[in-house]
Amino acid sequence: MSYGSTLRPRLRSRKRRPSAELDGNCSCFVFNVTFDRLENGKAKHYKPREPLRAPPHPFTSSTVVVFFAADRSDVCRKRREDMGDLAESADRKQQGALDAREFDRQFEEIVKELTEPDLNHPEIGDAIRRLREVLEYNAPGGKRNRGLSVIASFRELSRPQTPDAESVQRALVVGWCIELLQAFFLVADDIMDASVTRRGQPCWYKRGGVGLDAINDSFLLEAMIYRLLKRYCRAQPCSLNLIELFLETSYQTELGQALDLMTAQPDRIDLTRFTEERYKAIVKYKTAFYSFYLPVAAAMYLAGIDGEEQHSNAKAILLEMGEFFQIQDDFLDCFGDPAVTGKIGTDIEDNKCSWLVVETLRRASPEQRRVLEESYGRHDSESVSRVKSLYSELGMPVLFGELEERSFQRLRGLIERHANTLPHAVFLSFAHKIYKRNK
């Protein structure tokens, strides 16, 4: 029984993985699906008739069984492959939702483990209560992309095996180690940039009674990373690799922050330092290593993949992805909606070497450059407005849209070339998460 080339399946909810061959003549896929049938160029809702024979599977009355004749034609084989891809996609989405819920639950356990044993300690009890407050305010509340990418990548790298519960928990904890590293960087970065809001709430140092004590709080966040790695990974073969990975990534990110601060000195505005080369260096070290390479590299070590060539290939893809991500961030700082992004952009006021100003300097006329030099890095609203108007005048939103499309296609090409011994899904999931993002 076949449903012809004019039918387009719409997957609603997957009930079961594609079954094995029923016999030598047909293959069965079990989905909860409906179809659009094309009639006179228009789609009409259509539900297939009951199958001619029932497969050896229990299924509900809402399940539709689709049979494909097992001939050797390319069309039939391609159709089976497409339906299999739909099933895998639905499976990943469902598993991702389950992992996200478990990830959030794991944070509650982590806070308890890190604080409860010493809450009533006669000497450090007060400091531990402060630590708990620091953790609960600064670690959650973000998009969690970095942390969730560890468990998602770990599952892909473990296929076809299914990781056991202990391995899954370890991956979730390592994911939270990356979120703690992110929190450590953000708490310190907000102080250095004099930021006002973060993730839709006041920056930690802006909270009453915190102030510059937040510097020490950021150190506490970093220290928790290594307490967790010791607790959950000490007996694992990957333990040393993970510790070295986090230490090296911290060093690289701090170098990137140093480049950023040196280039964007608020009391010394010099646009000649805003070159494409400097911008790429800042992005690579400040953002790409910890936001993109770190989660996948950690998952690779957890899965027992420690080959130098494999990590080098992954790095080539992920650092490129990190640059694209930062360009998006720079664009959203100026043109994003603070209600969506959760923060008020201050790159113009802070004299930041952003993608927007680098591209503007490349395209500006002498008069436009004069306006930029007179206005960039100033905190008054008129100067900020002049810079934003200049960005719009030079077509930065259109340029960004074109770059986004090119970058996405380039990333797909890099994945094809470099991920020859690694699952493409690891990298494609990252690419799809950031493509067309608005926060």
User: Which residues are known catalytic residues?
Assistant: 143, 184, 189, 193, 198, 260, 286, 325, 329-330
Alpha-carbon distance of 42 to 97, in angstroms, equals 34
CA gap 402, 114 in Å, rounded: 46
How far apart CA 256 and CA 328 sit, in angstroms, is: 18
Residue 264 vs residues 259, 285, 334, 379, 415: alpha-carbon distances, Å: 9, 16, 17, 14, 34
Closest residue by Cα to residue 350 from 385, 384, 395: 384
**Token pair in block for residue 344:** 């008020």
Question: How many Cβ atoms sit within 10 Å of the Cβ of residue 297?
Answer: 26
For 108, list phi and psi in degrees, rounded to 5: -60, -40
Number of H helices and E strands in the chain, helices first, is: 15, 6
**Which pair of tokens denotes residue 29?**
């896929």
How far is 195 from 189, CA to CA, in rounded Å?
Answer: 8
Query: Is residue 357 left, alpha or beta, with left meaning phi > 0 and alpha meaning psi from -120 to 50?
Result: alpha
**Residues 215, 216, 221: CA angle, nearest 5 degrees:** 100
